[in-house]
Structure 1
């Protein structure tokens, strides 16, 4: 059973510009469906039952091109998201994102992951549009 998906998008912007945008958590609501609001320590995660306050830690390493997020939920559970910005010449980048399966019962896992894969594809297109505008 598949528990992850990796997607990427080519962005016609230099590596540094893409990294700076993705690494700033205040930009998450601009290109993701998951966040209503985000800053360096907290966020409001959008769920089917409304917004949920979480602790948000952005772990960014410009020299490695990685931007990861650690999300601590009100019940104490922890989730993570992993991404990387790779230079593609002087004025272009590739942004890749590792989508982990959401914490749902095993029987719902494949459907939940498939749904999230579609959402991620749209979010990567939104990120590209924001950065190339």
Structure 2
């Protein structure tokens, strides 16, 4: 299957929290079910890998970039087929808050409808991240 991206769409949301708070939270795969339901409703560390068992795509492996000071949250998602989908993501400082930017890459096999569904799912996940991070009961 061809996996070269033929187009990209940058999807972002501002978050009224310091960049470090958002990065620290979002970079921990254990927190994914709270804000990234597009990957699944549960995730477990099994044999050194983060496995989302209840993903709409089936069982997937999620691997984030190594922790860094640049806000890079790039991650690979290995699908049940073995296909690896690279997902560029950043947390960017914006005054006292930040912006989270996800680059959705359109794969060669995607039609317009599938690409739009993926974009809608990414926006829903980023909105959920914003809501979690801006809750008044969060420390910080």
- Structure 1: unaligned runs, 5 residues or longer: none
Q: Deviations over 1:41-73 (max 9, x none)?
A: 1222522xxx62222211144311101111222
Show structure 2 runs of 5+ residues with no match. Answer: 1-5, 136-140
Q: Counterparts of 1:64 and 1:112 in 2: how far apart (Å)? A: 31
What is the aligned-residue RMSD (CA, Å)?
Answer: 2.2
Distance 1:26 1:43, change over 3 A: same
Return the match for 1:63 from 65, 69, 78. Answer: 69
Normalising by structure 1, we get a TM-score of 0.82
Residue number in structure 2 paired with 1:12: 16
- Distance in 1, matches of 2:13 and 2:66, equals 19
Residues 83-102 of structure 1 deviation map (CA, whole Å, 9 limit, x = unaligned): 1011112x311111111225
The runs of at least 4 aligned residues of structure 1 exceeding 3 Å deviation read none
Match in the other structure for 1:129: 131
When you count strand as a share of all residues, which structure comes out higher?
A: 1
Range with greater deviation from structure 2 (14-23 or 108-117): 108-117
What's the offset of the Cα at 1:30?
A: 1.0
Question: Which deviates further from its counterpart, 10-19 or 51-60?
Answer: 51-60
The question of 1:96 aligning with 2:83 is answered no
Task: Please give the TM-score of this superposition, normalised by the length of structure 2.
Answer: 0.78
Please show how residues 18-29 of structure 1 align to structure 2 within 5 Å: 18-29=22-33
Shift of 1:36: 2.1
Matching of residue 3 in structure 1 with residue 7 in structure 2: yes
How many pairs are equivalent? 126
Kindly indicate which of the two structures has a greater share of residues assigned to helix: 1
